[in-house]
Amino acid sequence: MDAITLGAVKIFPYGLGLALSLIGACLFLAHTCRRAELKGGTASWIAVLGIPLGLLFARLFYCLIRMQWFLRKGLAFFWQFQKGGFFLYGTLLGVVLAGLITARITRQKAMKVLDAMVLPGTLMLSLGYLLMGLAGEGYGWSVSEWFSVDYPSDMSLFTLSDVSFFSRFPFAIPNYYGEYHWAVFVLETIIAALIGVRLYKDRSYGEKIRPLLFLCYLAPLEALGAGMRQDAVLKWGFVKAAEILTVVLMTGLLVYACIAVRDIGAGRKVLSFVLLVASFGLFMAMEFALEKKIDFLTFMKMDMCYVGMIGACLLMVASVRPLLVRKAQT
């Protein structure tokens, strides 16, 4: 969306929305810290450290992934935040570091501090996805091409002569030329909100495991969003960066759970790894099927591939979550 001019001041809707979301998340954080009976000032420390660290690491990850492009721009570009260029996993690392530093400064348990950050973090995540629409990001394929009846399409099993029902928010958003594209950011917002509900229900596990469950739910969502989006998605080579980091994060969570849980046999742990690897394989197979790079999957329409991706993400969670929950119960 275009900037709003108030006299000599320009207000960008995305920046304004982000600022208001941060304020709301910080107020919620103050509430969760009090409810967790953390020391006074804990929420302030997290906010003072988390905002700059989240911003810096989000920028750093973005520049590292696009290193050659960044070097051509010049080192001064790193500090030109108004021109955009951030990566969610970097934000996540910066905020987690802020929580750990806060725990050290205030002499409190790190997991207890991180647990108080989970629900406010999920709120900020959900609002952040929604705000991507204001920045013109988070969109998918063209709605008219998706249901096209004028020429054979590889996109959908279904065809529609009139797509006006879907050519509106929240299903789709218009691009610069007025063409409506699927609003992937809305789907991400809804899933992030559902994650928040799930984490609230998981509160009985408390500080032992809920921050790890947050990561367990978030990582597949990031992979799914990267697989569906058609805007500027960061890549390492031919693979999307969010998908690579999702593999790393989910594998790390499962390794931790297998080491921490000692009352489950090796066979059950091996099965969890098999399921996780299978979920990664299914996800990447669907990714390549979208691009028609696997001959025996060329029959699949894109909507079939996306259903397969969703199934792969659910399988990722199903392979890791039970062991994390078992860790909380021991």
Q: How does the average pLDDT of the chain come out, rounded?
A: 88
Looking at residue 327, its pLDDT comes to 84
Q: What are the boundaries of each domain within the chain? A: 1-135
Looking at residue 151, its pLDDT comes to 58
Looking at residue 221, its pLDDT comes to 95
Question: Whole-angstrom Cα distance, residue 194 to residue 177?
Answer: 33
Question: Whole-angstrom Cα distance, residue 119 to residue 30?
Answer: 11
Q: Token pair 């009846």 is at which residue?
A: 149
Q: Token pair 């299903």 is at which residue?
A: 171
In angstroms, how far is CA 51 from the centroid of its own chain? 18
Residue 284, pLDDT > 70, answer: yes
Looking at residue 109, its pLDDT comes to 93
**Dihedral of CA 109/115/121/125: which sign?**
positive
Question: Whole-angstrom Cα distance, residue 207 to residue 226?
Answer: 30
8 A C-beta contact, residue 183 and residue 171: yes
pLDDT grade for 222, boundaries at 50, 70 and 90: very high
Q: Tens digit of pLDDT for each residue in 5-26? A: 655 566 667 778 888 999 999 9
Q: Tens digit of pLDDT for each residue in 235-273? A: 877 788 999 999 999 999 999 999 998 888 899 999 999
Measured CA distances, 124 to 49, 91, 120, 300, 309 (Å): 16, 11, 6, 36, 25
Q: Which H helix or E strand runs over 9?
A: strand 9-11
Looking at residue 216, its pLDDT comes to 96
pTM of the predicted structure, to 2 decimals: 0.90
CA triplet 142, 147, 149: central angle to 5 degrees?
Answer: 120
Write the single-letter amino acid at 71: L
- Exposure class string for 135-156: b at 16+ Cβ within 10 A, else e: bebbbbbbbbbbbbeeeebebb
CA triplet 284, 288, 292: central angle to 5 degrees?
Answer: 160
pLDDT, greater one: 148 or 38: 38
